[in-house]
Every structure is written in C-alpha cells, then in structure tokens.
C-alpha cells in the first residue's frame, strides 16, 4: 500500500476540546456506548497526567521511527501524537530529543503502542506519555510508513483528527462524528453521578436506588442470616 504523510487534518473546535478537558476517560467511554477504549497495557508515565486533543496518527514498521520524525512537522499546538507499529514492538521508539521537538511544536502528549526511553528526563520535562513499555532498545530511522492514516492502536481504530482523551484510567478515542453526542451523554452521566454521590453521602444503598433488589430476586439470590444457615453443597 502506498506510504504517505497527510499534512493537514480536520481538528475539533477549540471549545469542544476545552469541554472534554473536564471529562475523564471512564465517563466518556461509558457515555459513548462503551466504545473506543484502548487496551489497559498502555500506562501513564506520569501519574495524574490528563490530555485531550486531536490525534495525529503515525504507523511505523516495528523497530523504526522514521515516520515519527516525519510527523513532527505536521503537528500543531494541542495535538496528541498517536504512534502504532506494524508488528508488535516494545522498542524505546521515542526519547528525550523527540519529546523536546514535540514540546517545541506545542504537542500535548503522546500515546504509543510500543515503548519510550529517557523516561527520567521526560518525567522531569513533564510531558504526558501513555506507553506499553520503558525500554532503552533503540530503533533505526530508515523505513517508510504513514502519518495521518487510519491506525490500529492498542486494539482501537484511530482516524486522524479523532479526539484522544487520556488519564490515569487509560486512553479513549472519540470519533469526530461523535464529538457532540458523546459530550452531551458524558455530561448527563456526570449529572446523574452527582445525584448518586449525594444519595451515597446520605447513606442510601445502591441496591435500593438502582432497584437491584428485584434483580437479585430474579437471579434467585437468597439471603441467609448466618454461615450456618447455608445448606451443605
């Protein structure tokens, strides 16, 4: 397949990006119908990091980071670099120098279905990264691939310009066509959770306010007062 770089991609409007910044990954994943969640082997380098921005996607052959270098040029402030490989990889594909270059371009963070290195320096620089591994093993930079092609990253299909939201719980992708509806659904969910939080603070039980006692009955769950009341198997 023809290898390429696409220079310009559609990006969500700034107010949308801003609105998503208030949201967390678990809420958005649930709100959009349990879709778009990357595999939990992606872990944050810096606990507490949170990012929300449009994806610039990169597909590299495993063990080569040429296309990451090619991607830097097309990044704009606020973007999130999403890197995946053809073939499984845990190389240290991104190190201090590339991170500095990304920060220079105003890139918000990195999601990489492979490894990084110079982790101590990157932590000091405060650059948010979600990766599969920390590994010194280096790459070549001489094999072509794609920038801004549809990419399969940690089990999820990412299109260039999709919104990437990442926090301590993981990474979720919101398709561009779903930005408005997912946002609305997320806000409703938050409101509802606010109500639930109050009920819990008042000492109400979820088996009551979710109506689960009926489900328990339907599922033929019986109650015994003591262990000795349970019949022998």
Contacts of a second copy in 177-196 (CB under 8 A): 177-178, 193, 196
Verify binding: residue 61, a second copy, rule CB under 8 A: yes
Q: In this chain, which stretch among 11-19, 174-182, 183-191 interacts with a second copy, using CB under 8 A?
A: 174-182
- Between the alpha carbon of residue 147 and those of residues 17, 85, 133, 157, the distances in Å are 22, 12, 22, 14
Verify binding: residue 13, a second copy, rule CB under 8 A: no
- Compute the least distance from the CB of residue 49 to a second copy, in Å: 10
- Residues numbered 64 to 103 that lie near a second copy (CB under 8 A) are 66-67, 69-70, 72-73, 86-88, 90, 92, 95-98, 100-101
- Residues numbered 114 to 143 that lie near a second copy (CB under 8 A) are 115, 117-120, 123, 133-138, 141-143
In the list 13, 15, 77, 227, the residue contacting a second copy (rule: CB under 8 A) is 227
- Between the alpha carbon of residue 100 and those of residues 121, 125, 178, 212, the distances in Å are 10, 8, 32, 52
- Between the alpha carbon of residue 29 and those of residues 23, 97, 171, 186, the distances in Å are 10, 33, 9, 9
Verify binding: residue 220, a second copy, rule CB under 8 A: yes
């Amino acid at each position: 397949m023809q290898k390429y770089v696409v220079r310009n991609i559609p990006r969500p409007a700034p107010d949308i990006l801003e609105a998503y910044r208030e949201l967390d990954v678990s809420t958005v994943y649930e709100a959009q119908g349990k879709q778009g969640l990357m595999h939990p082997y992606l872990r944050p380098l810096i606990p507490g990091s949170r990012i929300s921005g449009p994806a610039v996607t990169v597909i590299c052959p495993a063990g080569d980071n040429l296309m990451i270098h090619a991607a830097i040029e097309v990044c704009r402030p606020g973007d999130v670099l999403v890197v995946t490989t053809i073939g499984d990889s845990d190389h240290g594909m991104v190190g201090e120098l590339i991170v500095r270059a990304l920060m220079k371009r105003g890139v918000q963070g990195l999601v990489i279905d492979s490894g990084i290195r110079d982790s101590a320096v990157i932590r000091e620089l405060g650059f948010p990264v979600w990766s599969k591994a920390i590994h010194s093993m280096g790459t070549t930079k001489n094999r072509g691939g794609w920038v801004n092609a549809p990419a399969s990253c940690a089990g999820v299909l990412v299109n260039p310009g999709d919104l990437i939201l990442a926090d301590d719980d993981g990474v979720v992708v919101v398709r561009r066509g779903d930005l408005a509806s997912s946002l609305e659904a997320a806000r409703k969910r938050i409101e509802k959770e606010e109500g639930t939080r109050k009920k819990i603070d008042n000492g109400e039980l979820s088996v009551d306010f979710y109506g689960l006692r009926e489900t328990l009955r339907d599922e033929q769950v019986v109650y015994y007062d003591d262990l000795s009341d349970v019949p022998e198997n």
